[in-house]
Amino acid sequence: MNVNDKDLVIVRGINDDWFAENFSKLVIYFGGAPQAVPAEDAYYVGLYLEAPISKISHIGIVESIERGKDWANFNLKCIIKLDNQIDPGHPIRKHENWTLQRLKLNTVEIEKLKLIIKTI
């Protein structure tokens, strides 16, 4: 991975059906058109569940990224359910760049969690 911003979180819009079918695979796919693929690599992927939830409900810790011409797979080490889901104030259709601070996540605790996960 070539991560330039260690606090970057790529927030991906998904629906309930996709979430139920793909949760256990630990892969977040981006593609379909060049603008649908994040330009940057990130250590984190936020999951925005569409209506009726309409909130960022989970964050995934990225283990590796595979990229093709018009697609990218962000392979996750784990997905964590957020205790306090985040309302972005608008729907997220494809993806948006956020930060850990904007998600109000404690960067020190996230770094500790990443260290623990590396031992699993």
Domain membership flag for residue 1: no
Domain membership flag for residue 50: yes
Rounded average pLDDT per 10-residue block, the chain, 120 residues: 93 85 84 88 94 91 93 92 91 92 81 71
pLDDT digits (tens, 9 = 90+) for 12-26: 998 888 777 777 789
Tell me which residue range forms the domain holding 100: 8-118
Q: How far apart are the C-alpha atoms of 23 and 89, rounded to whole Å? A: 24
Q: How far apart are the C-alpha atoms of 54 and 112, rounded to whole Å? A: 29
Domain membership flag for residue 92: yes
Domain membership flag for residue 26: yes
- Considering its fold, how many domains does the chain have in total? 1
Domain membership flag for residue 85: yes
Domain membership flag for residue 90: yes
The full length of the chain comes to: 120
Amino acid at 90: H
* Cα angle value 23/58/6 (rounded, 5°): 110
pLDDT digits (tens, 9 = 90+) for 25-36: 899 999 988 789
The CATH number covering residue 98 comes to 3.10.590
Domain membership flag for residue 3: no
